[in-house]
Structures are given as C-alpha cells and as structure tokens.
Amino acid sequence: MTKTYYLTTPIYYVNGKPHIGHAYTNILCDTLARYHRMLGEPVCFLTGTDEHGTKVAKAALAAGKTPQAYVDALVPHFKELWRVLGVTYDFFIRTTDERHKQYVRSVLTDLEAKKEIYKASYQGWYCTPCESFWTELQLKDGKCPDCHRGVDQIEEENYFFKLAHHQAWLLDYIEKHEDFIRPAHRRNEVLGFLRHETLEDLCITRPQSRLRWGIEYPNSKDHVVYVWFDALLNYTSAPHFAIEGKKETDFWPADVQLLGKDIVRQHAIYWPIMLKAMGLPMPRTLLVHGWWKIGETKMSKSLGNVVNPTEIAAKYGVDALRYFLLNEVTLGMDGTYSEDLLMERYSSDLANGLGNLWHRTASMIEKYFDGILPQVEFPQLKQSLMGPSMGLLDLVWGNMEQYDPRGALAEVWQVIQRANQFVEENKPWVLAKDPAPKTDLESVIVTLAETVFRVAVILMIFMPDTAKKILQRLNQPTIGKLIPNSGQFSEIHLVPGTRIEKGEPLFPRLDD
Ligand code: MSP
C-alpha cells in the first residue's frame, strides 16, 4: 500500500490568538498538502495546539480562568482561522487530549525501561519565558542566550533524557542525509553546533510545586512533563488515533515537518534523538522557514506587534493574503510584513495581472461569441502562448519538489504576464472588425481561455478560492483529478461550446 504523505506543522501555544506568522506556517503546509493531493497521493496534514506549560498557565491566570477552560475557549479561534484561510488539515491534535497524554506516558515508561531516562538532582540557570535550563557557560552576559531575559538559579530533583550519548550518531546522521534539515544554511548551523558544542542531557520534568499544568509524569505525584517533550510527541501520537483503521506506520515517518527558525534546536536535536531512543525512523525533511517581521522586529504575541490574519483576509480576500505570504519571501528567509506592500502586490499582480487577464478573456468571449467558447483545433492555437502554458506544469512541479512555492508562483505569473502581452500583441478588437472569417480571432481567444484554464488548475494549490471561481466560470470541475495521470498538460482542454461566465471582478480595485 502507498504510504501516506504525512506533513506536520508545529503545534501552536494557546496563549493568545494566532497571528500572521502562525498563518504563514499553516498556509505553507497547506500548499504542500494540496500539491501532493493534486499528484494523487494519499495525504495526512497534521496541525494542532500546544496546551500545557508555563506560558499557557500564566496566560490562563491573567485571564482569570483555569488553564483547561482557557484553552478550551481559545482553540476554536485557531480552528476558525484555518477554516477561513482554506487550510485543509486532516487532523487537529490538542495536547490535552486524553489519548495524547496516555501516549506520552507510555513513551516515558518505555524510555525509562530502556535507561534513556534517569532521575537526578539538578542545579542550573532557568529561563522562565523560554522554559529552558542553561549552564553558566551557555548564558550570554548572564542572560538567557535565546531571549536575552534574566535567569534564575534553581536546584531541584528531576527526570533527565539522555541526549549526550546520541550526539555522535546525530552528527553522523545529519551529515549523511542532506535533505534532513532544509534549507542548507539551517542544516549548517545545526552541524556547526553539533561539531563544536557538547550536548547536555535534557531535563524533561518540572516539579509540581513550580508548575502543575502539564501531563503528570508516570508514577510520580511530584512532576509534570516538560512542555516540549510532551509537544514534540504530538507528531507520532496523533497517528495512533487520528484516522480510524490506520496505524502509526501508515504515516510515520513524516515526509515533511514544517517549523520556524526559532524552534530548530528542539526539532533538529531533541526530536531526532527522542525518535532514535524510541526506535522510530527519522522524518525525511525538517523544513525551516524564517520570520515575518514588522520593520526589524519579529512579529510576536509577547511583543504585541501582531497582525490579525482574519482582518487582512476580510479586507483583501483570503487568496490575496495567501499569495502575499507565499510569494513575498523565499522559504527559509525572513520577510517584512506591511499592509502597503500587500496592497502593492494586490494591485500589480492580482488586480492588474490575473484579475485583468480573466476579465478581458471572459469579456471577449461574451462580446464576440455570446459567451460560448468557439471551436478551434488544438494545432491552430497560438504557439507563442500555448508553448509557455503547456510547459508551466513541469516548471511549477519542479519548484514544489524543491519546497519553493515562491519560485513556482513566479513561473505562473510569467505566463500571466505573457498572456496579457499576448492580448496587446494580437489586438483581438482589431481582428473582430475584420470582415473575413473569424478564425484568427477564435484562435487568439481560445488560446487565452486554455491558458487561464491551466493557470487556474495550478492555482488550486496556492489560491484555491480564486482558482475555483475561474474553473467554475469556465464550467470546469473543481474537485477530483484535475491533472491527468500522465501529468501532461496537453491532455486537458476546454470543450468547444462551453458557456463561460465572466462574473464579478476576481480582485476588485482597492479604490472601489
Ligand atoms: N508550541 C511551540 C511549538 C511546539 S511544536 C512541537 C511553539 N509555539 S508558537 O506558537 O510559539 O510558535 C509556533 C510556530 O509559529 C513556530 O514555528 C514559530 O516559528 C512560528 N511563528 C511564530 N511567530 C512567527 C513569525 N513572526 N513569523 C513566522 N513564524 C512565526 O513554538
């Protein structure tokens, strides 16, 4: 049986409503998921919420609620945002789900039996916001090396997961698997770290005297599980109960795990070692994206500079936001978010680019052919545009194989631009006045329609609402297999005689 193509996003802390940065990860993952579904593969796309730990406990306290009541009230906001943004996840995991808690406890019991976990007294520096222990050496100017905030000296008895004795294995594994951490600059950072630093075992519990909001450690009334140990396990826990009749190995190992650059250490060091200790195979690729910033600063709940994706989607349309986020930065790099920039792209690429192409194509079919697609034999179509639109699929798929949605969109927009130029060059309004038979006009118009059709099929993975609108107006199916098994774009074509509906503008001008 074909293995399911399994993709995961990080699970989001439920300590506030999601922002553009979170939306980005899930839109990226959704685009990859849609791409693989379009290839005809069975896909499982997992997302969810990380509901334990100090951050959530503190936010609940500030809101005057119990942590459980607090997360229960917030989780629907995440689900609603994913619905609004067209994020087609297959399963949503919550770490407060009893089945997940049981799984975590069973993993811990197993790892203790395998002597991968031990109990010891620990003294060190603790950063509360990051929930991380640091050694004296790791501190930067006496502050947390990650967030640069103050740390506290703490001594307590805890459970530890052995990282140190897997370091050589991990280094070797990453060296031998070029695709394990992408892009390459992130891989190099992890390799540099593993070559030059010594891993310390990971403290995986918190005393209940300090934190109660977590999964109780098996057979201990005194400890809860460290939130990261609990959270990382969501990726292998969900497959146990996500889809009835399926088992873990139908999904795991994941094909791609998306994450932001701030959580590389947990995913590229702790997680592979946890999997190795558990006896599970490694995910194929950890795909690391950059940050969305406002000016020079990361967009973040704690900094209070967040942009609400629901508002942006309501104002400009979901697909304008999806297009902007996917197109503005190369996956892996940081991006600067500004509404002005989004408006610029909206006008130039969406309203004047794709929107205009659709509008003029449909208007001409309406005006010159009463809204009915004329009959033109395939070889009679204009090669100057049919060539690029036929070649589009391979180019887009090539970019998607390299996890480069921006590169893929650039190819699509080249064809859109080419098609708009083609209208100017061929001047259908002049051809329409020619008293001779309309063969040339028919050929120009059908070439345009065939091109928009192919563009729309491809856009199903990036901008599904817009793609659907175009396909529906072209009277084409929007579900099922849009691309033939052969993967050849030459095999799909519009049927002459089809009625075409122009419809409302796809991207109304902003000043309207
Ligand atoms: N709960 C942990 C992840 C556990 S995964 C087993 C966590 N949650 S988070 O809500 O703080 O962040 C979740 C994801 O959102 C991370 O990948 C993070 O990089 C991403 N982003 C948060 N702010 C972001 C930006 N400003 N820009 C892009 N992505 C950002 O970490």
Secondary structure, 3-state, 86-153: CCCCCEEEECCCHHHHHHHHHHHHHHHHCCCEEEEEEEEEEECCCCEEECCCCCECCECCCCCCECEE
Asked whether residue 421 is assigned to any structural domain, the reply reads: yes
Residues 171 and 84: their CA atoms lie apart, in Å, by: 41
Q: Which atom of ligand 1 is nearest to the CA of 231?
A: 6
Asked whether residue 283 is assigned to any structural domain, the reply reads: no
Give distance in angstroms: CA of 260 to centre of ligand 1: 6
Averaged pLDDT for residues 387-413: 97
Record the tokens describing residue 147, joined without a space.
Answer: 């967030």
Q: 405-427: per-residue pLDDT in tens?
A: 999 999 999 999 999 999 999 99
Nearest CA to ligand 1 atom 15: 22
The share of the chain scoring above pLDDT 90, in percent, equals 84
Nearest CA to ligand 1 atom 13: 12
Nearest CA to ligand 1 atom 22: 21
Give distance in angstroms: CA of 433 to centre of ligand 1: 59
Record the tokens describing residue 315, joined without a space.
Answer: 């104002």
Report how many domains make up the chain. 1
Give distance in angstroms: CA of 263 to centre of ligand 1: 7
Asked whether residue 155 is assigned to any structural domain, the reply reads: no
Asked whether residue 365 is assigned to any structural domain, the reply reads: yes
- 372 DSSP 8-state letter: B
Q: State which residues form the domain around 349.
A: 338-512
- Which amino acid type is present at position 346? Y
* Mean of all residue pLDDT scores within the chain: 94
pLDDT score for 246: 75
Asked whether residue 461 is assigned to any structural domain, the reply reads: yes
pLDDT score for 489: 85
Q: Is residue 1's pLDDT more than 70? A: no
CATH number of the domain residue 491 falls in: 1.10.730.10
Residues 26 and 433: their CA atoms lie apart, in Å, by: 50
Q: What are the counts of helices (DSSP H) followed by strands (DSSP E) for the chain?
A: 20, 16
Asked whether residue 201 is assigned to any structural domain, the reply reads: no
Asked whether residue 289 is assigned to any structural domain, the reply reads: no
Give distance in angstroms: CA of 14 to centre of ligand 1: 11
pLDDT score for 117: 98
Nearest CA to ligand 1 atom 29: 21
Q: Which atom of ligand 1 is nearest to the CA of 18?
A: 10
Q: 260-283: per-residue pLDDT in tens?
A: 999 999 999 999 999 999 999 999
Between CA 33 and CA 44, with CA 268 as vertex, the angle to 5 degrees is: 20
Confidence bin at 490 (pLDDT 50/70/90): confident
pLDDT score for 244: 75
Q: 10-65: per-residue pLDDT in tens?
A: 999 999 889 999 999 999 999 999 999 999 999 999 999 999 998 999 999 999 99
Instruction: For residue 146, give every residue at least 6 positions away whose Cβ sits within 8 Å of its Cβ, in sequence order, or none.
Output: 127, 130, 132, 262
Asked whether residue 80 is assigned to any structural domain, the reply reads: no
Q: 200-253: per-residue pLDDT in tens?
A: 999 999 999 888 999 999 988 899 999 999 999 999 999 888 777 777 778 999
Contact of 234 with 48, CB cutoff 8 Å? yes
Averaged pLDDT for residues 1-18: 91
Nearest CA to ligand 1 atom 6: 232
Give distance in angstroms: CA of 11 to centre of ligand 1: 8
pLDDT score for 146: 87
Closest residue by Cα to residue 465 from 89, 91, 92, 87: 87
Ligand 1 pocket residues where CB is under 6 Å:
10-13, 21-22, 24-25, 50, 231-232, 234, 259-260, 262-263, 291-292, 298-300
**Which residue among 14, 50, 288 is best mutated to probe the pocket of ligand 1, counting the most ligand atoms within 8 A of its Cβ?**
50
pLDDT score for 62: 95
Give distance in angstroms: CA of 300 to centre of ligand 1: 9
